[in-house]
Amino acid sequence: MRNIIKADLYRIFRRFGVYITFAIFIVMTIIQVAGNGTFGVHFFPQPIETIDEIAYYYDNDGNIIGEYNPKYARIIQTDDGIEFESIDPYNPTKTGKAAPIILAGYTDNLIYFLLPFIVFIIAADFSHGAVKNVFASGTNRGKYYFAKQILVAGASVVLILLNLIIIIVTAIIVNGFGGSFDLEFIKQLAEIYLPQLFLLFTFGCIGTFLTFTFKSTAIMNTVYIVYTLAPMIILLMLSQKYDSLYNYDLILNMKSFAYIGQNVLMNPSLTKAVFLGGVYISACTIGGILLFRKAEIK
Amino acid sequence: MNILQTRNITKQYGKTKAVDNVSMAIQKGDIYGLIGKNGAGKTTLMRMITALTFANNGELELFGQTSESGLNNARRRMGSVVETPALYPNLTAQQNLEYYRILRGIPDKSAVNNALQAVKLTDTGKKKFKNFSLGMKQRLGLALALLNNPDFIILDEPINGLDPMGIVEMREMIKNLNAERGITFMISSHILSELSLIATRYGIIHDGRLIKELTEEELREQCQRCLSVKVDDTAKCANILETVLNTTKFKVVGDNEIRLYDYFDNSSEVTFQLNANGVRVSALSEIGDNLEDYFVNLIGGEHCA
């Protein structure tokens, strides 16, 4: 398995595409930081009617009990319950220390950046037929599958770390760090981003499963994008009637961890999200290996 | 010692049997030529041996191993190019082989250059695989098969698309590797005249079934030169050959033909004696089967391979 990983790393970093993807990712992350206030782009107040961002807040049982605009307010937990604290849009508080907390709700774009990496890591083997040489020389299919899954997990870690670093560095350059880089800060980042990383890895497992099942880059890309978008759209359509459906969408669960950073554990069930991710990972991995074990290699 | 043995191996796609109860054996040192029409089951058989597909029934034995893990271990002693050489298009020859060297855990870094040298592909520099000619791709495929210093190599149509020089080079490479390194080969080819120049054993597959296995000597025997004598009475002709011309080297083929494996230099004597003894000879010619004729005759002459 170690040899497969080493060989793939050798191959992937000899592809021009991987550097282009990283470059696009870096630019997009910087734009994201800018677009969300650090550069003062959105510092003009908007009338409340044009609010296009809505965040939900929940009771202790995880039920949605209201909504608010995170651009202009944040929720704090007091002894009397939940209160809103207004965010002054004229006051650039988005320092290097604050930026990753504020932008934690935008990590869902990472699931789309994971896609080209799944292509580089797995789909390329199938689209060029090079995978034939792997199995013809006695490589165990299960080990091959796991090795690919580990590489995709590695890509998830790299993406989330790179995302954090770019956000912090960009915000520091513009607004300074705004505090001390202490253990508390690292703990806070870990609280938000580790569960997000876990759910990002879940998407990696889904992508791995789809690639091994369809063995085609085009089909895998299409199904993956539809898979990530469709539940959200369907949930939005049905949400009025079936609020509890939100519990099953991975992207919404990823987003929910953003509110840990605002000192309000909006989603009380970290366990639920971890369980949900665990179910997806197990189902995709076991299903993927079972399907692939005796699959035809074209 | 058998390198490969299959026992009643069957592969079925829906209701179609691509490979039907094939039992065959390849011995150490063989250059085994697998012959068959398009869709006869050659590639499917090779795909089963190389774990790209799995048999529905039957048993596969490689280097004495039959279990799944044993077969995987045995495949590490194998090299193969099944269908077309498939490598990464954006990598060079060197990079492609280096990738597989790492993947296969081959510690000797010089293995890459040695394999490239063996197929005379050391001078491709930064040229990417996607820009290679078909001949270069075939040679790089062979280099990949040689990378782990294998004992057994499977090549599916290795001379497909090669120019005449490329065909000669590929043939020489295979012969040298067999002679010098003792590598056993299993080769399928449509170009039977080429296959007949290198193969030491043959397996003829038709409609998924292995209909004949024969050695080089047996094939030579089957395809040897003879006089085809067309006569009105084969029984009488056979009697005259035995009693008057004192030969038993003949075979009756059909109702009015006898193949005589004697008297090549004195065919007029044959005609004379037959006529003198009341057998009317309508035609006499020297013929000789080649592998192609033999194959066509064997499968019923439906198509040439």
Mean pLDDT of A241-247: 66
Whole-angstrom distance, CA of residue A232 vs CA of residue B202? 61
Q: Which residues of A touch B (CB under 8 A)?
A: 3-4, 6-7, 10-11, 14-16, 124, 128-130, 132-140, 294, 296-297
Mean pLDDT of A271-281: 84
Q: Measured between CA atoms, how close is A1 to chain B, in angstroms?
A: 9
Question: Residue B154 is which amino acid?
Answer: I
By percentage, how much of chain B surpasses pLDDT 90?
Answer: 31
Q: Measured between CA atoms, how close is A112 to chain B, in angstroms?
A: 24
Contact between chains at B72 and A130 (C-beta distance less than 8 A) = no
Q: Which two tokens stand for residue A229?
A: 């978008």
Q: Measured between CA atoms, how close is B205 to chain A, in angstroms?
A: 22
Q: What is the pLDDT of residues A213-234, one digit of tens each?
A: 888 777 777 777 777 777 666 6
Contact between chains at A130 and B88 (C-beta distance less than 8 A) = yes
pLDDT of residue A36: 64
Confidence of residue A290 (pLDDT cuts 50, 70, 90): very high
Which of B13-17, B25-29, B140-144, B190-194 shows the lowest per-residue confidence on average (mean pLDDT)?
A: B190-194
Domain spanning B225-288: CATH 1.10.760: no
3-state secondary structure of A150: helix
What residues of A are in contact with residue B80 (Cβ under 8 Å)?
Answer: 133, 136-137
With 50 as the cut, is the pLDDT of residue B303 above it? Answer: no
Whole-angstrom distance, CA of residue B279 vs CA of residue A83? 120
Which of A254-258, B22-26, B28-32 shows the lowest per-residue confidence on average (mean pLDDT)?
A: A254-258
Which of B27-31, B60-64, B261-265 shows the lowest per-residue confidence on average (mean pLDDT)?
A: B261-265
What's the Cα-to-Cα distance from B298 to each of A30, B21, B178, B229, rounded to whole Å? 72, 19, 28, 21
Q: What is the pLDDT of residues B226-250, one digit of tens each?
A: 888 999 889 999 999 999 989 888 8
CB atoms within 10 A of CB A123: 24
CB atoms within 10 A of CB B228: 15
Q: Measured between CA atoms, how close is A15 to chain B, in angstroms?
A: 7
Sign of CA dihedral A280, A285, A286, A289: positive
pLDDT of residue A5: 94
Among A135, A137, A148, the strongest candidate for a mutation testing the B interface, having the largest count of B CBs within 10 A, is A137
CA B215-B220-B225 angle, 5° bins: 165
Contact between chains at B144 and A133 (C-beta distance less than 8 A) = yes
Interface ipTM: 0.76
Whole-angstrom distance, CA of residue A37 vs CA of residue A92? 8
**Residue of A7, A16, A136 with shortest CB distance to B75:** A136
Q: What is the pLDDT of residues A76-97, one digit of tens each?
A: 667 766 666 655 544 445 677 7
Note the maximum CA span of chain B: 78
Whole-angstrom distance, CA of residue B174 vs CA of residue A267? 67
With 60 as the cut, is the pLDDT of residue A47 above it? Answer: no
Mean pLDDT of B62-66: 90
Output the average pLDDT for chain A. Answer: 78
Domain(s) of CATH 3.40.50.300: residues in chain B: 2-220
Looking at the domain covering B2-220, what would its CATH class be? alpha beta
pLDDT of residue B226: 81
H-assigned helices in chain A: 2-12, 16-35, 99-102, 110-118, 124-127, 131-136, 141-175, 183-214, 217-238, 250-256, 270-293
Size of interface A-B (CB pairs under 8 A): 84
Whole-angstrom distance, CA of residue A240 vs CA of residue A295? 43
Q: What is the pLDDT of residues B121-163, one digit of tens each?
A: 888 888 999 999 888 888 899 899 989 889 999 999 888 777 8
Among B43, B52, B62, B77, the strongest candidate for a mutation testing the A interface, having the largest count of A CBs within 10 A, is B52
Q: Which two tokens stand for residue A123?
A: 């789909």
Q: Give the residue from A63, A32, A56 showing the smallest Cα distance to A170.
A: A32
CA A27-A31-A36 angle, 5° bins: 155
Contact of A199 with A275, CB cutoff 8 Å: no
Higher-pLDDT residue of B108, A236: B108
Which of A21-25, A36-40, A140-144, B118-122 shows the lowest per-residue confidence on average (mean pLDDT)?
A: A36-40
Domain(s) of CATH 3.30.70: residues in chain B: 225-288
Give me the DSSP letters along A37-86: TTTSTT-S---GGG----EEEE-TTS-EEEEE-TTTEEEEEETTEEEEEE
Confidence of residue A45 (pLDDT cuts 50, 70, 90): very low
Q: What is the pLDDT of residues B81-97, one digit of tens each?
A: 888 888 999 999 999 99
pLDDT of residue A74: 66
Output the average pLDDT for chain B. Answer: 86
Mean pLDDT of A258-269: 59
Q: Measured between CA atoms, how close is B76 to chain A, in angstroms?
A: 5
Q: Which residues of B touch A (CB under 8 A)?
A: 47, 50-54, 69, 71-76, 78-80, 82-84, 86-91, 95, 98-100, 102-105, 144, 148, 154
In the DSSP assignment, the letter for residue B65 is B
Residues 6+ apart with CB under 8 A from A181: A97
Confidence of residue A149 (pLDDT cuts 50, 70, 90): very high
With 70 as the cut, is the pLDDT of residue B305 above it? Answer: no
Task: Give the phi and the psi of residue B79 in degrees, each rounded to 5.
Answer: -125, 155
Q: What is the pLDDT of residues A187-212, one digit of tens each?
A: 888 888 888 888 889 889 988 998 88
Q: Measured between CA atoms, how close is A243 to chain B, in angstroms?
A: 46
pLDDT of residue A40: 43
pLDDT of residue B184: 94
Whole-angstrom distance, CA of residue B105 vs CA of residue B198? 32
Mean pLDDT of B45-55: 91
pLDDT of residue A49: 42
What's the Cα-to-Cα distance from A226 to each of A148, A207, A229, B138, rounded to whole Å? 22, 12, 5, 40
